[in-house]
Amino acid sequence: MAARHDLTTDPGLQEDLLQARRGTAFFARKLNELTDSELDGGTRLPGWARRHVVAHVGYNARAIARLVEWAATGVETPMYPSPEARNQEINFGATLSPIALRNLFDHSAVHLSVEWRDLPDANWTKEVRTAQGRIVPVSETVWMRTREVWIHAVDLNNGAVFSDVPSSVLERLLRDITGAWKSRGTDAGLLITVDNTELTFGDTAAPNPTIITGPLPAVVEWATGRGITGVTAGGPLANGTTPAAPSWI
C-alpha cells in the first residue's frame, strides 16, 4: 500500500506541520520516560499534576481536530462547548488510569495529524474560531498545537528545558506573548531584549524602562511565567529584583 502524505503542497505549511509533529514526538518521549506512578508527580504549573498536563494536551489535540474538521466540512464545530466544559474535561482526564491517559494522548495526536494530512490546499485558508474567540485561518491550528506540545513537554517537569525547544519556536512564541501584552497595554514601562540578537520587544518608547534580558530560552521561560533563571532585570524600577511577567493567556 502506498504511503499517505499531507495533501498540502505549501512548503511553509509543510515545514510548520513538521515542527508540530516534532514537538508531539518530544512530548511523547518525555511522557514515556515517566512510570505510571510518576504521573501523580508535580509539574511546573501550580495545582496541576502530570496527569492534568497529559489530559490537557490530549484533549487539546481533539479540540484542534474539531477546528480542522470545521474547515474540511464547513460545519461549525467549536473547540469546546464552554470554558467550564474544557476545565471539567481536563479534571476528568486527570482521573483516568495510566494506560487510558497514555492512550488519550497517543490516539488524539494521531487523529489530529490525520485531519491535517487529509486537508486539501484550498481548505487551509478557511476561517475558524478559537476557544478565545479569535477568527483565524485553520492554518493557525498548526502553530496553536506546536506551542502547546513544546511548552507542556517542559511543564511535565521531567528534564525538558526551554533550551530543548527550537529557536524558531521560541522566537515566534516570544513575539506572540509580547504582542498579547501590547494589545492589552500590560507591557507599559517594560522592555525585553535577547542576548546576542537584535530582538527587542515591549515598551520601546518608555524613557526609563525596566529591562529584562537574557538568552532566548531564558527570556521565553520568564515570559511564559515558568521561572526567572538566566534573566536579569535592569533599569530604575527593577530594585535588584526580576519582576513577574505580565499574564499571557
What does the pLDDT look like over 126-160, one tens digit per residue?
Answer: 999 999 889 999 999 999 999 999 999 999 999 99
The 3-class secondary structure across the chain, one letter per residue, is CCCCCCCCCCHHHHHHHHHHHHHHHHHHHHHHCCCCHHHHCECCCCCCEHHHHHHHHHHHHHHHHHHHHHHHHCCCCCCCCCHHHHHHHHHHHCCCCHHHHHHHHHHHHHHHHHHHHCCCHHHCCCEEECCCCCEEECCHHHHHHHHHHHHHHHHCCCCCCHHHCCHHHHHHHHHHHHHHHHHHCCCCCEEEEECCCCCEEECCCCCCCEEEEECHHHHHHHHCCCCCCCCEEECCCCCCCCCCCCCCC
Q: Which domains does the chain have, with CATH numbers?
A: 11-160 (1.20.120.450), 167-234 (3.30.1050.20)
Average pLDDT, the chain: 93
What is the per-residue pLDDT across 176-229, written as a single tens digit (0 to 9) for each? 999 999 999 898 889 999 999 999 998 888 888 889 999 999 999 999 999 999
- How much of the chain is helix, strand and coil, in % rounded to 5? 50, 10, 40
**Among all chains, which residue has been given the C-alpha cell 530594585?**
239
Return the pLDDT at 243: 86
- At 114, is the pLDDT very low, low, confident or very high (cuts 50, 70, 90)? very high
Residues of 74-97 as b/e, b for ≥16 C-beta within 10 angstroms? eeeeebbeeeeebeebbeebbebe
pLDDT score recorded for residue 179: 93
pLDDT at 1 over 80: no
pLDDT reading at 2 higher than 70: no
On the question of pLDDT at 234 being above 90, the answer is no
Burial of 42 (0-12, 13-18, 19+ CB in 10 A): exposed
Residue 82 to residue 76: CA distance in whole angstroms? 15
pLDDT bin (cut points 50, 70, 90) of residue 238 is low
- Is pLDDT of 237 > 70? no
Torsion of CA 226, 218, 22, 32, to 10 degrees: -50
Q: Which of 246, 109, 105, 227 is nearest to 162 (CA)?
A: 227
By DSSP bridging, strand 135-137 and strand 210-214 are: unpaired
- Please report, rounded to a whole number, the percentage of residues in the chain having pLDDT higher than 70: 97
Q: Is the pLDDT of residue 235 over 90?
A: no
Predicted confidence (pLDDT) at residue 3 exceeds the cutoff of 50 = no
